[in-house]
Amino acid sequence: MSALILIVEDEPQLAEVLEAYARQEGYRTERAADGNAALTVFRAAHPDLILLDVMLPGRSGLEVLKTVRASSATPVILVTARAEETDQIVGLELGADDYVVKPFRPREVMARVKAVLRRASQLLGDPEDRPLRVGSLEVDRRAVAARVDGQALNLTPAEFRLLAQLAEVPGRAFTREELLSHALPDSDALERVVDAHLASVRRKLDAAGASGMLRTVRGVGYRLEAAS
């Protein structure tokens, strides 16, 4: 069965265009025009990806994203206005997987949708992959799960890919460019997006009792090491 895309957009004409292009690509679609309706459809339909406008009546797109991330790792692409750079960074810190900026060409949005869905499906990786272990952290690429002393971390797909990359070579400093090309290879996102995603990973590690594992290497990027 084809992927189900939830399009959350309060401009009817734009929503219709996005829906038409999505269906042309073979996707099934659901639509919502405000934040509350988006959450209702999300809980009922269990979409494979959410295309989420930030500026919505009532509950904002960022509020919707935060609620979704409290219970699900469903891929989310934010749709933002060019002047809303702060929303882009905040959205990524809240767990968005990517973003597109208005005005955009619908075909470019569909290309981004394909890329994010492909990355999500590739998280399963090679069946021969063994779990990666760094101190109390275990990263299981087959199960797409990360745990600290058995406690699961609720990571987004992009966060998981970044953490898995770091865990492959503990102690090695990866540049932001290396991490970005691995986690978001088809995105035009800037390197600071890595900072936003890893800030979220660090908070989750700290909350699970693995404080100090994710280190910032000044002038280079990041490394992962067992907590002392």
What are 48-105's pLDDT values in tens digits?
A: 999 999 999 989 999 999 999 888 889 999 998 765 567 677 787 788 888 888 888 8
Q: What pLDDT was estimated at residue 197?
A: 87
Does 158 score more than 80 pLDDT?
yes
Going by pLDDT thresholds of 50, 70 and 90, the confidence category of residue 124 is: low
Q: Is 176 exposed, middle or buried (0-12, 13-18, 19+ CB in 10 A)?
A: middle
Does 8 score more than 70 pLDDT?
yes
Residue in the structure block whose two tokens are 């929503």: 15
Q: What is the pLDDT of residues 15-29, one digit of tens each?
A: 999 999 999 999 999
CA distance 93 to 1: 31
3-class secondary structure per residue, the chain:
CCCEEEEECCCHHHHHHHHHHHHHCCCEEEEECCHHHHHHHHHHHCCCEEEEECCCCCCCHHHHHHHHHCCCCCCEEEEEECCCHHHHHHHHHHCCCEEEEECCCHHHHHHHHHHHHHHHHHCCCCCCCCCEEECCEEEECCCCEEEECCEEECCCHHHHHHHHHHHHCCCCCEEHHHHHHHHCCCCCCCCHHHHHHHHHHHHHHHHCCCCCCEEEECCCEEEECCCC
Going by pLDDT thresholds of 50, 70 and 90, the confidence category of residue 173 is: very high
Instruction: Pick the closest to residue 116 from 202, 3, 14, 1 (CA basis).
Output: 3
Q: What pLDDT was estimated at residue 127?
A: 42
Predicted TM-score (pTM) of the model is 0.66
Average pLDDT over residues 146-175: 90
Q: What pLDDT was estimated at residue 84?
A: 59
Average pLDDT over residues 142-151: 88
CA distance 153 to 93: 15
Q: What pLDDT was estimated at residue 177?
A: 86
Q: What is the pLDDT of residues 174-227, one digit of tens each?
A: 998 888 887 766 665 567 778 888 999 999 999 999 989 999 998 889 999 987
